Amino acid sequence: MTSDGEIHDALKGVPPGLPPLALSELPSRGWRALVDLAPPFALLKRGALDHNRDFIRRLLKQTGAWYAPHGKTTMSPQLFREQLDDGAWAITLATVSQVAAARRFGVSRILLANQVVDAHALRFLARERERDPGFELLSFVDSEDGVRLWQEALRGTSRPLPVLIEVGFEGGRAGCRSVPAALAVAQAVRAASGLELRGVAGFEGLLHADTDAAQDAAVRRYVERIAETARALAGEGAFAPGEVLLSAGGSAFFDLAATGLARAELGRPFRMLLRSGCLLIHDDGLYGHALDRLFERSPALAGLRPGPRPALELWADVLSRPEPTRVVAGLGKRDVAHDAGLPAAKLWFRDTQHVVPEPLPVLGSAALNDQHALLDVPADSPLRPGDKLGFGISHPCLTFDRWKLLFVVDDAYRVIGGVQTCF
């Protein structure tokens, strides 16, 4: 898998007027990110990425799980490559357009963690499997209608498609709501030509409760339902020959998914697949809180401390200080997720004063406009127009899709590479 796309000044962060260059040329430019890039820009810190990769390896070793990271977080071929080089079993994706993008960069095993019902999409996937015998695709199903649509698309193809029955929960999104419903889907798979049942899957991250303890309990019950469904299917001989796949584990509850699925007791070999997409990047908000909770409820994982570190920083200019306690920065809704908390400034840099950024008492955004962040600051804050602010973010998934290019930097904030996204 290779990608050496063109870098040009229509991409955020690239200095204006720069002639186009290849992604591979970035390390040779000798850029200091905080001096030479054009704000706003997005940085990935190499040290944090490598630390998080090591955390994932240790987590998998301790839990006995395998990894199929959700690629929708980054949609970056360069980061896919790193994850596969680290032993990821597959890349998980959510849409057929994401699959098409990953295929352009040579991803050879994809877990499509969604229901596919569009005829054009189904035909594309069937053709792609026939075109490349080395391409392995697995998909979710949760209904007899879904099985029928797949069967029609696969008619005349030579390889059976492995599918996983998705287990849902009341009030949630897709997925069978009961064991009998899953057994009915399994019977449809068995009767269909071109499909074989390989496993059971679900996603626990959308379960909510009034307290953290109640949410943890709801997740445990749901993961047990996935295991219970798998046991019932195994008891009916519904699975195809070979190991069974059991999959859950987003970025907030992967510990509960791993421990719950490990107790499935199917009477045959099975592989646990965790699908966290945000462990590689982490954040300063949603998943930072989730990590604190994880170590509280799972003492057996205490040996994995320190946990993941935030790898993504967004940088913007201080544009204005129109009032003593108000700073306006050049970062807005076009640049950063705001569904799970607003970005918070944690670092500052003044070219005439600093060599590397200085810590800043965390300044939460009071509001975001399309291109501006409004921050409340102490009246004695040193910030002035022309300074740069480094922001931590919450929920990397919805920040990555706002950037076509992110610069990779070392601990001295020297640009040592870049990653592109394919949203």
Per run of 10 residues, the mean pLDDT along the chain (length 423 residues) is 78 97 96 98 98 96 96 97 98 98 96 97 96 97 98 94 97 96 98 96 94 95 98 98 96 94 95 96 93 90 92 98 98 96 97 95 96 97 98 95 98 97 95
- For 95, the token pair is 């849409």
The pLDDT, as a whole number, for residue 1 is 42
- Residue pointed to by tokens 């352009």: 104
Residue 298 is assigned to a structural domain of this protein: no
Residue 252 is assigned to a structural domain of this protein: yes
Residues 75 and 118 in one domain: yes
Q: Which of 230, 250, 285 is the last residue of a domain?
A: 285
How far apart are the C-alpha atoms of 349 and 228, rounded to whole Å?
Answer: 54
Residues 312 and 281 in one domain: no
- Secondary structure of residue 365 in the 3-state scheme: strand
Q: Which of 252, 270, 285 is the last residue of a domain?
A: 285
Residues 253 and 340 in one domain: no
Residue 208 is assigned to a structural domain of this protein: yes
Q: Smallest Cα–Cα separation from 93: which of 124, 129, 139, 125? A: 139
Residues 259 and 327 in one domain: no
Residue 238 is assigned to a structural domain of this protein: yes
The pLDDT, as a whole number, for residue 3 is 61
Residue 187 is assigned to a structural domain of this protein: yes
The domain tally of the chain equals 2
Residues 214 and 326 in one domain: no
Residue 105 is assigned to a structural domain of this protein: yes
How far apart are the C-alpha atoms of 257 and 204, rounded to whole Å?
Answer: 8
- Residue pointed to by tokens 């510990």: 255
Q: Smallest Cα–Cα separation from 345: which of 393, 402, 278? A: 393
- Secondary structure of residue 103 in the 3-state scheme: helix
- Residue pointed to by tokens 């998934």: 397
- For 80, the token pair is 């896919």
Residues 105 and 128 in one domain: yes
The pLDDT, as a whole number, for residue 322 is 98
Q: Which of 285, 319, 334 is the last residue of a domain?
A: 285
First CA to last CA distance, the chain:
17
Contacts of 105 by beta carbon, 8 Å cutoff, 6+ apart: 1, 2, 3, 77, 80, 81, 422
For 259-277, letters b (16+ CB in 10 Å) and e give bbbeebebeeebbbbbbbb
Residues 12 and 84 in one domain: no
How far apart are the C-alpha atoms of 396 and 399, rounded to whole Å?
Answer: 5
Residue 168 is assigned to a structural domain of this protein: yes
Beta bridge partner(s), residue 326: 323, 376
- Residue pointed to by tokens 């959700």: 70
- Secondary structure of residue 20 in the 3-state scheme: coil
Residues 221 and 352 in one domain: no
Residue 294 is assigned to a structural domain of this protein: no
Residues 161 and 184 in one domain: yes
Q: Does the reported pTM lie above 0.85?
A: yes
Residues 313 and 281 in one domain: no
Whichever domain contains 22, its CATH number is 2.40.37.20
Length of the chain equals 423
- For 373, the token pair is 């962040």
What range does the domain containing 370 cover?
Answer: 6-46+308-420
Q: Are 113 and 93 in contact (CB under 8 A)?
A: yes
Residues 91 and 220 in one domain: yes
Residues 137 and 239 in one domain: yes
For 285-321, letters b (16+ CB in 10 Å) and e give bbbbbbbebbeeebeebeebeebbbbbbbbbbbbbeb
